[in-house]
Amino acid sequence: MDTSIILQIVANLFTVQTLIALFVGVVGGIVIGALPGLSSTMAVALLVPITFGMEPVAGLVMLTAIYTSATYGGSLASILLHTPGTPASAATALDGYQLTQKGMAARAIGISTVSSMIGGFISGVALLFLAPPLAKLSLMFSAPEYFLLAIFGLTIIGSLSGASMVKGLASGVLGLLIGTIGIDIITGFPRYTFGNVSLESGISLVPALIGLFSLSQVFIMLEKKDGAKKEVVKQKLTKLLPNRADMKKTLPTILRSSGLGVLVGILPGAGGDVGSWVGYNEAKRFSKNKEEFGKGSIEGIAGSEAANNAVTGGALIPLMTLGIPGSSTTAVLLGGLMIQGLVPGNELFTANATISYAVIIGFIVANILMGIVGLFGAKYFIKALKVPPNILITVIIILCVLGSYAINNSMFDVYMMLFFGVLGYLMRKTGFSTAPVILGMILGPIAEKGLGQSLVMGQGHLVEFFFSRPISVVFMILIILALLSPFVLKLIQKRRRTVV
Amino acid sequence: MKKFILLAFMVVLSVAMAACGKDSDQAGKADADFPKKPITLIVPWSAGGGTDTGARLLQPYLEDELGVTVNVVNKTGGGGWVGWNELANAKSDGYTIGLANSPHIITGYMNPTLKRDKSLDDFVGLGMHVIDPDIIAIRKDENRFSTIEELVAYAKDNKLTVTATGEGTDEHLVILSFNKKYGTQLEAVHFDGAAESRAAVLGGHVDLLVANAGEVLSLYKDKEIKVLGVAASKRSEFMEDVPTFEESGFEIYQESSRGLIAPKGLDPEVLAKLQSALEKAVTNEEHIQKMADLGYGVNYENGEDYMDILKKDEEAVIDLKDLLGW
């Protein structure tokens, strides 16, 4: 690249309009992301029409900034209120909310902010320098790999189960069953739809998530309200920037999750929701403090938050190089690109290189700005906890209804959200975890579709087909290791004890 | 103070709720000064997809012609039928119109397992907007065949996997038509959309790519794929060097078309106003150019002709009913 192009890119990026768009994108993204039900996909969809009239660079920088910032913003509501702002931050709620209850919300937000920033930054750098090879890698994944990736993901349920493995598995199976609702794509047959057209495309994830996590949380908050004692946990006003010990503890997790997030991101069939769970689970698998997970582990927060923001840059890679969106949000972004007359593919990096690279660098800058805004804003976010419960509950309920309606403009989804709210409340009261339900709903359809497609693609030789594909074999080994490792570890520990 | 905040909150809420209420008093009566309030355009697919992008490009031109705001509302689900059901049930006063995709709207009610009670007869055509023919493409490094003739000859003796996006979609109909008319052994692998289809063929996991021309334009330009033929009676303006199947001796015609429809029973005056506004908007040069930049071929047909085309699409699906198992 010669210097004139670089100068052109810099000139494209540092215009007043672009810088304003960048700032608006970051702040707006964090706010929208933090509101339960308003996901990054919706944020981008809402703003795509506004970018039509803007300069291409400014418009696209704003959209990508919103994408990554909304993904980060989702963690704030997860940590503070146990109401994930986006599906990608559901995993963060598990440990983040525990820390809030212990009065360490500031610490949790600090870790989440820094992890998101690093994850997003790394994915942006990957987008800038590694886009072509990573796009090739993404093409090596197809139906069999998605099937196995989903199965591998489902092994996470074992580690989410908490006290009772049976209850955890039952929750996971419930999620898988819910995932079968709707028209089967392979045969076109409607399953469990009871003649209701709204059920034909399945139960939407967002209303279910809002119900299981947010509304059930409201019910639990309502319970406490009756006791006249105000149970406001005193928040320790620690510094927001994570201290050296915390950083040292979480840095390996952040880097690992960033890598995993980019990998999940480049896959067209998996987005931030899958990425965050994979990041969370691998954080636990490699952690020396497994017992902390689910009780307020900063590694857990770092694991899911670095991964879901790394998905954003990763998902932009196949979008920009091949026109194949790597997540549902980037599918909407594709519309934004096209409207600007920017058709993905070679042209984007040749004829329109100055625009494309300016957008990519803008995306990297957006991630840094997002971290700064997050760290400065955190002390105001935490004030949400000081809002009297009666007002807070009202606001959360309104947002729950609004968010579940807005996803498909459908009242049916609002009823679904209410149903899942009651279900989630009953589950939590009886010691069932709600996270495996969500995981089953996300991964079940991916697994089923992948297997169905593999059956046709393998043309009757399914076993040979799977074993002839290197990435499939790697996944199969990983699945076996994931299933066996707890038993092997236990055996080794026993041996050691008897020897010593 | 607390009470005041609550009170203020209630007031805001009740105002907002009142604003949401429908003004249902003036039912479908003839309306001389139509339109006098915003028109809702139901898009039965999610924001950012091909149908949605096309609708949003048309929206400002339609607004100019009608002189009122046109709100694009995405009502997703049921392969488009959540939106179409709502449109069919909407008041036929011209203030609710919608986008139709063929053959999706047709296969959606032809599939007996879905037990739909609505069909084309519940709608009236306002005009066609876009036509996008189906194509068959192969990877650039495919060495078993390089023309559609060679492909068909090969597929008579060998099974080939082909991308499609669900039972009864236009891609699936192309596959079934080839199998029925020319004895090929093409097997459909259904994906969630064109994006996943393209990835599957580029990665070498599925043999043939069947998709709409507009969906593969950038891959075609970048020479990442080789397009073997177009399922239309004339060549695509975006791929001048690609022959039609007809030129190669195969009578396969399949496209996916988009147009605007309204619930039946519109007042004739209102219908005429909507139709002429749509004609002016669709045939606007600037609009045609903007659509062409994205690879969408604008193809205007008036409301009656559009309905006839949909009827023909319906007959084509009926022809393939046995292969679909319906």
The CATH number covering residue B178 comes to: 3.40.190.10
Q: Tell me if B81 and A197 make a contact (CB, 8 A cut-off).
A: yes
Counted across chains A and B, CB pairs separated by less than 8 A come out at 154
Q: Tell me if B47 and A45 make a contact (CB, 8 A cut-off).
A: yes
User: Could you tell me the pLDDT band of residue A1, with boundaries at 50, 70 and 90?
Assistant: low
Chain B residues within an 8 Å CB radius of A398? 13
Cβ–Cβ contact B63 with A under 8 A: no
Name which of B56, B195, B219 is nearest A331 (Cβ-Cβ): B195
Pair (B203, B220) in one structural domain: yes
CATH number where B39 lies: 3.40.190.150
Interface ipTM > 0.85: no
What is d(CA A208, CA A437) in angstroms, rounded to the nearest whole number? Answer: 9
What is d(CA B38, CA B69) in angstroms, rounded to the nearest whole number? Answer: 5
Pair (B108, B49) in one structural domain: yes
For residue A38, what pLDDT is reported?
80
Q: Which are the contacts of B267, defined by CB distance < 8 A and separation ≥ 6?
A: B28, B29, B30, B31, B34, B93, B94
The pLDDT tens digits for B49-73 are 778 888 988 999 999 999 999 998 8
More confident residue, B264 or A165: B264
What is d(CA B32, CA B53) in angstroms, rounded to the nearest whole number? Answer: 32
Place of tokens 């669900």: B166
Number of domains in chain B: 2
Least confident residue range of A40-54, A68-82, A197-211, A267-281? A40-54
More confident residue, A405 or B30: A405
Q: Quick check: A88 and A272 in contact, CB under 8 A?
A: yes
Question: How many C-beta neighbours within 10 Å does residue B278 have?
Answer: 27
Alpha-carbon distance A334 to nearest alpha carbon in chain B (angstroms): 7
Give the single-character DSSP code of B280. Answer: H
User: Could you tell me the pLDDT band of residue B30, with boundaries at 50, 70 and 90?
Assistant: low
For residue B26, what pLDDT is reported?
44
Model pTM above 0.90: no
Q: Tell me if A343 and B187 make a contact (CB, 8 A cut-off).
A: no
Name which of B73, B191, B224 is nearest A409 (Cβ-Cβ): B73
What is d(CA A283, CA A254) in angstroms, rounded to the nearest whole number? Answer: 9
B42 in a domain, yes or no? Answer: yes
Mean of the pLDDT values across residues A4-14?
85
Pair (B190, B156) in one structural domain: yes
What residue in A sits closest to B325 (Cα-Cα)?
A: A187
What residue in A sits closest to B73 (Cα-Cα)?
A: A409
Pair (B110, B144) in one structural domain: no
Angle at A277 between CA A101 and CA A127, to 5 degrees: 115
Pair (B212, B191) in one structural domain: yes
Mean of the pLDDT values across residues A189-209?
88
The pLDDT tens digits for B261-283 are 999 999 999 999 999 999 999 99
The pLDDT tens digits for B200-242 are 999 999 999 999 998 888 889 889 999 999 999 999 989 999 9
What residue in A sits closest to B189 (Cα-Cα)?
A: A453
B41 in a domain, yes or no? Answer: yes
Q: Which of A41, A142, A390 to mutate to test the interface with B (most CBs of B within 10 A)?
A: A142
Pair (B223, B276) in one structural domain: no
- The residue from B193, B214, B230 where one domain ends is B230
Sign of the C-alpha dihedral computed for residues A293, A294, A297 and A301 taken in this order: positive
Q: Tell me if A331 and B48 make a contact (CB, 8 A cut-off).
A: yes
In the 3-class helix/strand/coil scheme, how is B90-122 assigned residue by residue? CCCCCCEEEEEEECHHHHHHHCHHHCCCCCHHH
Burial of A158 per CB tally in 10 Å (0-12, 13-18, 19+): middle
Chain A residues within an 8 Å CB radius of B111? 188
Residue B13 has pLDDT above 70, yes or no: no
- Domain span holding position B111: 33-132+255-324
B55 in a domain, yes or no? Answer: yes
B38 in a domain, yes or no? Answer: yes
Chain A residues within an 8 Å CB radius of B159? 459
Name which of A335, A390, A408 is nearest B76 (Cβ-Cβ): A408
Q: Tell me if A200 and B295 make a contact (CB, 8 A cut-off).
A: no
Mean of the pLDDT values across residues A263-282?
90
B64 in a domain, yes or no? Answer: yes
Q: Tell me if A190 and B200 make a contact (CB, 8 A cut-off).
A: no
Burial of B29 per CB tally in 10 Å (0-12, 13-18, 19+): exposed
Q: What is the average pLDDT value for chain B, to the nearest integer?
A: 88
The pLDDT tens digits for A323-349 are 888 888 888 888 788 778 787 888 888
